[in-house]
Structure 1
Amino acid sequence: MNKQSMRSWQQGLGLAICALSAATLVACGGGGGSSATPEVAPAAPPPTATITSTLTLIEGTITGFGSVVIDGVRYKDDGTKVEIGDNPELKKLATLGDLRTGMRVQGELKDGVLQNLLVNFALVGTVSAVDPAAGTISVFGQTIKITSAGQLPTVFDGFSNLSQLLVGDLIKVAGSVAADGGITATRIERKLKEGGELYRLSGPVQTLDATAKRFALGGNSSVTVDYAKAKVLPEGAVIENGKLVSVVANAAPVQSGGQTLLTASAVEVKSRQIPDAKELSIGGQINDFKSLASLRIGDVQVDASSAELKEGTVLADLVNGAQAYAKGSLTAGVLKAASLKVFKPETALKAMLIGQVTDFVSIANFKLRGTDVDASQANFSKGKAADLATGAWVSISGQLTASGVLAKTVEILPPPADKPARLEGAISGVDLATKRFSLLGTTVQWSDTTKLNPSNISLANLANGVVLVVEGSYSEASGVFSATGVKLINTTGVVKTVGFSGIAFEVTTTGFKVGSNTVLLGKDIKFEPTGTTLADLKNGARVGVKATLINVDGKATLTATQIEVQKPEKDSEGAEYVYLSGLIADFVSSADFKIGSQKVDASGSGVEFIDGDAAKLANGLKIEIKGSVSKAGVLIAKRVHFMPG
């Protein structure tokens, strides 16, 4: 399939991708220490996509990372280019770190590697009504259904429950649009109104008046669409009754001539715009089910009359609302399924995360590839709870929830073998006789040639609980990390500082929340950029936070010392800057390193470094980057901020 065909497919479906932020991709295995809970067999990793020499199209929901996991299948993401399709005429280049769980994804797979991913949302608009009891939200006359439990619950960002949403809040909704216009959300993000928003509604065309160039949307009895001045995409598409479309507008609907009128700037026709493909996989909710020969999964029409029903699926499982996954070939807009399965309790989708821990506050509150994780109820198949800390390599299997992932099993992994690495944290299991200790679940070996910082310290009297930074490399053969350098950070009992970013909500005069973090407002907070005040801290604002972390009565308490309100900015070419945070991996030089799978270049002469310089860049350090994405998919840094824990 050529690039034009891929673009046509992307434009035709306009599906939403998921995403989480990036962290290091590692192989499963290794780990040390005894389990804090009874040992269990590690969960089976998600199946990896079969490598073929042909292009394969995929559509589904992201359920994990390490690399990207879509509907339970893991796809390599090295070099994957990401776009966000808010503006169908000018898609925004993004990073792998912009991906989050719950997003709907449309992508192209070649030789087992994702080539392109397109992020779109089914709806963008302001809330007009919220019904927490019914689990619904109304936006511009369209009803969004929330799934609170089950295999694929709706993921919330910028709020933690429906009761926190207010009339007038701006939200972006990812999910499947049914043939009747109903939207079942897989992800909802609350956004701060910045001006210049593009609004979006989706659904089947109804009561088309081609002369007046107006139509209604199925499932929406309130809004009439005026497309007289709109671009119809993709080029050559025709608006017809019954066709699924996404309507994009520069302004919210207004009252005009007794109607609520949405003036469209673009209409994306989804139905029957997908080019024929020998291989297509589709995951999502079943809707418009008539028979095995006629149903929809997500936005794709499916004929499963000849499909092999997989993993215990029976005909009775095929009902509207069930989560399903089909593979086959696409002809004239219809997927002829070769296989079909419905995710049932015994075959339910599992959230899978593999990478390095960041933003560690407690075992019940840390991040992995940008996803909030609660491992307080998890069984440890390798390693123990005490090994969890910022920088630890782990593999987690669990259940996707509205706020992140509830871990069921945790496996502590060793660092990548035979690569320069950096470990930091409190040590345990000190054995002075063998010159070994344990750090982040990994056995560390030092020797007389290990460089010490400061040079006058002695490792002969190391004690459990001392915080060190260790540089060296891990040998898979010996299972030991050989230390080339050891730096003493502190002894026990000091206040720890952590840094994290996300969408603020529940903002009050005394504090706010970001993801799973409850943050208190300190007395002498430094606000950035210059001129920013407490008044700029609002629900839906994206923020970067530095905070002290102390334990009070056994409970972790975060108190902000610095808050950056990250307002939209554009580079010299008019592209909006993106933000990416995580731990450095695969460091070669300032022009060549990764945060997770995302390639980064921070070698430019105009790069602003905060709390460090280019010489400080090294594997394992946590940084936050502001920059723009090149056409080659590389994040070109404008600013590099070295962040604590």
Structure 2
Amino acid sequence: MIIGFLNLPRPLIPLAVALLLASCGGSGGSQTAGIDGSGAPVASNTSGTIDGFGSVIVNGVKYESNTAEILVNGQRASENDLRVGYQVSVTGNNNNGRSIAQKIEFIPSVVGEITALLTAEKQILVLGKTIQVTNNTVFDASIKPASLAGLSVGQTILVSGAIAPDGSISATRIERSNSTNLQISGQVANLTSSSFSVNGTTVVYTNAQLINLNRERLINGARVAAIGIMQDNQLQASTVIGLNKNLARDFASADIEGFITRFVSATDFDVDGVSATTTNQTRYEKGSPADLRLGVKIEVEGSINASGVLVASEVEFEQTSNNKISGTVTAITLGNNTGIISGALEVDGTRVITTKQTRYEDKQFNLRPFNLSSLTRGDLVEVSGYSTAEGFIATKIERREVEDEEAETRELEGTVSALGADYLVLFGRRIYLTENTRITGDSGETISLSNFLLLALNQQIELEVESRDGEFYALEIELELEDSDEAQTANNNAKQD
């Protein structure tokens, strides 16, 4: 496991934690070698989430990694130490349509003890940082169930994710940790000659090795990762790693995924700490220039100008994965794939479309590489994604072990598209309501069936259903009302009932 690297002697850490990665088409665009189409090798860098292996797939691009240098917290590692959901940086080049990684680096966002679990908010508190769990969060197979319910206060976990402007982490992977070293990342504040704070945690760096950092660059506002042990409620750092992302001007292109962490205008903003700008030629996917603002998660591809600013040729907005379905694979259709395998599958008859950026994890056999072609009919899967005019687009697919209690039950999440007297429709599937169906609001208040039928159309719901003779029957439903007035009305009506 990767945690072992956090215990290695700090003096062995090399001076190599620049943000890197290589891509000429992370959003599914063409991977043409040579900026000018010459076919000559083109150096580039990218940062993003590992979606799969064979070799390493990041931001919808497959990077040949057999000759790449792999680093974890600066320590030499192997590809086997990387996991789906890790936020990584890679340096490489694109040569005749082949993306070849030269270096892949991983630095955990936080390693520490859980101090609070906020189940309703889907949040975890670790070392003063808020960890936001989403439908795209990958929980390690050792966490059972693979959700917040599989965690408890006092456990030590490793989290990888994207850091939002407020310092919170949108988790892309969570796993248990046996490390005695703790780790926290964020912006430096309250800097003195011997200490600073990160999200309220005091870090003493007197005897720390500085990596990708020196005293002149260690300033308030600098982005760092601090590693050490906790004594007297202070992190005694053995290592402090600089995370500021300055794109080298000798790189021809870059592909950066993350939150907009600074925003002045569409021509002056930072994405995951990288300075970026757009032009009249910038292409937009799933959004427009008006959607650019602080805290929005995007992926930016483009070239690097003489000032080291990323000039966006394309901006893609991340879609919120409000859809979730668990069930049995009933059909698989593979597309004409030349690199990353994509296509479609059916889960209990519901069609789901995959893309080059769909994230895959195998919790049943721990198969690696694992992708759409690895699935077979009858497999139990959990799929997260979002809806478009095309249908249900998968952002994450996990093959799961079949537990006895899960054999006939399913968990679903999505927007109600139609209602009848005794049913609702989700993803085109009719789900029947009975007198035993328990319906609540997102604050836990009971909602009657009649009020549910009045309020639920086009609203987000989470539900547990039971499969009987090929039909689905709702056992529990949670209605997530967008309008607080409607929620109060539902609550009052429920009490009157």
**Does residue 312 of structure 2 align to residue 337 of structure 1?**
yes
Task: Give the structure 1 partner of residue 206 of structure 2.
Answer: 228
Shift of 1:377: 5.0
Task: Give the structure 2 partner of residue 245 of structure 1.
Answer: 224
CA deviation string 1:485-508 (max 9, x = no partner): xxxxxxxxxxxxxxxxxxxxxxxx
Shift of 1:71: 1.5
Paired residues, what number? 331
CA deviation string 1:149-185 (max 9, x = no partner): xxxx111113211122111212111112234322211
Correspondence list, 1:182-581, <5 A: 182-191=168-177, 193=178, 197-210=180-193, 213-217=194-198, 220-221=199-200, 223-234=201-212, 236=214, 238-249=217-228, 251=229, 253-255=230-232, 260-271=233-244, 273-276=246-249, 277-305=251-279, 308-311=282-285, 313-319=287-293, 320-329=295-304, 334-344=309-319, 376-381=329-334, 398=354, 400=358, 516-517=400-401
For the residues of structure 2 that align with 1:51 and 1:234, how far apart are their CA atoms? 30
The alignment partner of 1:208 has SS state of coil
Task: Give the structure 2 partner of residue 459 of structure 1.
Answer: none
The TM-score normalised by the length of structure 1 is: 0.45
Q: Describe the shift of the 1:554–1:199 C-alpha distance in structure 2 as closer, same or farther (beyond 3 A).
A: closer
Task: Give the structure 1 partner of residue 43 of structure 2.
Answer: 55
Shift of 1:328: 2.0
Aligned residue identity for 1:380: T
The alignment partner of 1:11 has SS state of coil
- Equivalent pair of 1:48/1:75 in contact (CA under 8 Å): no
Q: Describe the shift of the 1:288–1:235 C-alpha distance in structure 2 as closer, same or farther (beyond 3 A).
A: closer
For the residues of structure 1 that align with 2:237 and 2:362, how far apart are their CA atoms? 35
Task: Give the structure 2 partner of residue 533 of structure 1.
Answer: none
Rg larger for: 1
Shift of 1:119: 1.8
Task: Give the structure 2 partner of residue 175 of structure 1.
Answer: 161
Task: Give 1:82's match in structure 2, choosing from 70, 88, 100.
Answer: 70
Task: Give the structure 2 partner of residue 137 of structure 1.
Answer: 124
- Equivalent pair of 1:174/1:187 in contact (CA under 8 Å): yes
Aligned residue identity for 1:299: G
Task: Give 1:94's match in structure 2, choosing from 54, 73, 78.
Answer: 78
Q: Describe the shift of the 1:375–1:205 C-alpha distance in structure 2 as closer, same or farther (beyond 3 A).
A: same
Q: Describe the shift of the 1:144–1:279 C-alpha distance in structure 2 as closer, same or farther (beyond 3 A).
A: same
The alignment partner of 1:105 has SS state of strand
Aligned residue identity for 1:292: A
- Equivalent pair of 2:213/2:242 in contact (CA under 8 Å): no
Shift of 1:241: 0.8
Correspondence list, 1:25-40, <5 A: none
For the residues of structure 2 that align with 1:54 and 1:395, how far apart are their CA atoms? 27
Shift of 1:235: 5.3
Aligned residue identity for 2:31: A
The alignment partner of 1:163 has SS state of helix
For the residues of structure 2 that align with 1:228 and 1:82, how far apart are their CA atoms? 29
Aligned residue identity for 1:298: D
Correspondence list, 1:154-169, <5 A: 154-157=137-140, 158-159=142-143, 160-169=146-155
- Equivalent pair of 1:328/1:339 in contact (CA under 8 Å): no
Q: Describe the shift of the 1:187–1:12 C-alpha distance in structure 2 as closer, same or farther (beyond 3 A).
A: same
The two structures, once aligned, show a CA RMSD in angstroms of 4.0
Aligned residue identity for 2:113: T
Q: Describe the shift of the 1:167–1:55 C-alpha distance in structure 2 as closer, same or farther (beyond 3 A).
A: same
Q: Describe the shift of the 1:291–1:404 C-alpha distance in structure 2 as closer, same or farther (beyond 3 A).
A: farther
Q: Describe the shift of the 1:197–1:76 C-alpha distance in structure 2 as closer, same or farther (beyond 3 A).
A: same
- Equivalent pair of 1:12/1:233 in contact (CA under 8 Å): no
Shift of 1:271: 1.9
Question: 5+ residue gaps in structure 1?
Answer: 1-6, 18-44, 349-363, 365-373, 384-392, 414-439, 442-513, 521-551, 556-645
The percent of aligned pairs where both chains have the same amino acid is: 26
For the residues of structure 2 that align with 1:164 and 1:554, how far apart are their CA atoms? 19
- Equivalent pair of 1:154/1:402 in contact (CA under 8 Å): no
Shift of 1:77: 3.3
For the residues of structure 1 that align with 2:202 and 2:219, how far apart are their CA atoms? 15
Compare 290-299 and 327-336 and name the one that shifted more. Answer: 327-336
The alignment partner of 2:17 has SS state of helix
Which structure's relative contact order is higher, taking Cα pairs within 8 Å and 6+ residues apart? 1
For the residues of structure 1 that align with 2:406 and 2:119, how far apart are their CA atoms? 34
- Equivalent pair of 2:20/2:47 in contact (CA under 8 Å): no
For the residues of structure 2 that align with 1:236 and 1:332, how far apart are their CA atoms? 22
CA deviation string 1:206-251 (max 9, x = no partner): 11123xx11112xx23x211111112222546210111111111x1
For the residues of structure 1 that align with 2:268 and 2:117, how far apart are their CA atoms? 34
Shift of 1:333: 5.4
Task: Give the structure 1 partner of residue 52 of structure 2.
Answer: 64
